[in-house]
A and B are shown apart, each in its own frame.
Chain A
Amino acid sequence: MDYEMAESGGVTVLKPGMRTVDQNNAPAFFEPLRPAVDTGGKIVLDLSKVQFINSAGLGAIVGLIRDVELKGGQIRLCSSLPTVKALFNMVHMSSIVAIDDDVAASLSAMARNNE
Chain B
Amino acid sequence: MNDQKLLKRPDSYGVEESSFSIVAEGAFLVCDDSGQAVFSGAKNLAVLSGLPAGSTVVRGTLAEALGVLDAEAWSMLFSGTGPEKAGLRGDSVSCLFPGRGKRLIRVRHTPVPGTPGRRLIFLKDETELSESRERLARAQSIDADASARLQAAVLVNGTHVDSSYLEYACSAMPSKLVDGDFLDVIRLAPDIVDVLLGDVMGKGMDAAIMGAVIKVGLFRSLAMMTRAEGSAPSVREICAATERVITPHLLDRRSIATFSYMRLHELTAFAEFVDFGHTSIVHYRKATDSCRLIKGADMPLGFVEKQAFRSFLLPYREGDLFIVFSDGLSECPGHDGAFFSEDRIMRVARSRAGFTAREIADTLVRLGFEFSEAGFVDDVSIVCVKALKPETAIDELTGSLNLLLRQASDKASETLRLTLARALDAAGSVDPVENGGLVLACVEALSNVAEHGLGGRSGHCLVEWRIRQGLFSVEFSYKGPDYNWLATPVSPIGNYARRGYGLEIMHAAMDSVLLCRGFGDEKTLVLCGRLLCQKK
Beyond known contacts A58-B501, A91-B508: 14 more, CB 8 A cutoff: A23-B410, A52-B417, A59-B498, A82-B431, A82-B433, A82-B436, A83-B432, A83-B435, A83-B439, A86-B433, A86-B440, A87-B440, A91-B501, A96-B494
Interface residues of B in 431-477 (CB under 8 A from A): 431-437, 439-440, 443-444, 447
A97 to B203, CA, bound (A): 59
Interface residues as binary, A78-103 with B (CB distance below 8 Å gives 1, 0 otherwise): 00001111110111110110000000
Tally inter-chain residue pairs, CB-CB below 8 A: 86
Contacts of B493 in A (CB 8 A): 62, 91-93, 95-96
Query: Taking CB as reference atom, which chain A residue is nearest B508?
Result: A90
Interface residues as binary, B493-532 with A (CB distance below 8 Å gives 1, 0 otherwise): 1101111111011001100000000000000000000000
Residues of B in contact with A (beta carbons under 8 Å apart): 408, 410, 413-414, 417, 431-437, 439-440, 443-444, 447, 491, 493-494, 496-502, 504-505, 508-509
Interface SS of chain B: helix
Contacts of A63 in B (CB 8 A): 496, 498
Partner pick for B499 among A52, A55, A83, A96, CB 8 A cutoff: A55
Query: Taking CB as reference atom, which chain B residue is nearest A58?
Result: B501
Q: Tell me whether A39 is interfacial, beta carbon within 8 Å.
A: no
Contacts of B408 in A (CB 8 A): 23-24
A105 to B434, CA, bound (A): 25
B437 touches A24 (CB 8 A): no
B432 touches A59 (CB 8 A): no
A54 touches B433 (CB 8 A): no
A23–chain B nearest beta-carbon distance, Å = 7
Knowing A23-B408, A86-B434, A95-B493, the reply to whether A59 touches B417 (Cβ < 8 A) is no
Interface residues of A in 53-73 (CB under 8 A from B): 54-56, 58-60, 62-63, 65-66
Top 9 nearest A-B pairs by Cβ distance? Answer: A83-B436, A82-B432, A55-B501, A90-B508, A86-B437, A86-B436, A66-B496, A59-B498, A82-B433
Interface SS of chain A: helix
Contacts of A56 in B (CB 8 A): 447, 499
Instruction: Give 20 A-B contacts (CB < 8 Å), ordered by A residue.
Output: A20-B414, A22-B410, A23-B410, A52-B440, A54-B413, A54-B444, A56-B499, A62-B496, A63-B498, A82-B433, A83-B439, A85-B433, A86-B440, A86-B509, A87-B437, A87-B440, A90-B437, A91-B501, A93-B493, A95-B493
A66 to B414, CA, bound (A): 29
Contacts of A60 in B (CB 8 A): 498
Contacts of B491 in A (CB 8 A): 91-92
Residue from A23, A52, A55, A56 with most neighbouring chain B CB atoms (10 Å) = A55
Query: Taking CB as reference atom, which chain A residue is nearest B444?
Result: A55
